[in-house]
């Protein structure tokens, strides 16, 4: 899944919870579902630069589509 928008990185990282699930708040993806730091369920980029690089690793051209409500 790839998200974009105002403060998308901050919002998604808050939703995911801290990298170490032991420290992640209940109600976050990692806080509720992760097993340990090596199996923390989900990845989220930490900056726009990382996001651009990582999107190119995970998705092929044409797989990401524009969406608006």
| Residues belonging to the active site | 43
Reference 22, options 9, 7, 38, 6; nearest CA is: 38
Interior angle at CA 59, CA 56 and CA 60, nearest 5 = 90
The residue with tokens 């190119």 is 56
């Amino acid at each position: 899944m790839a998200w974009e928008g105002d403060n998308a990185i901050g919002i998604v990282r808050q939703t995911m919870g801290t990298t170490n699930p032991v420290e992640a708040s209940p109600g976050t993806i990692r806080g509720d579902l992760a097993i340990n730091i090596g199996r923390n369920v989900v990845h989220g980029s930490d900056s726009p630069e990382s996001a651009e690089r990582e999107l190119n690793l995970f998705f092929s051209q044409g797989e990401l589509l524009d969406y608006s409500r």
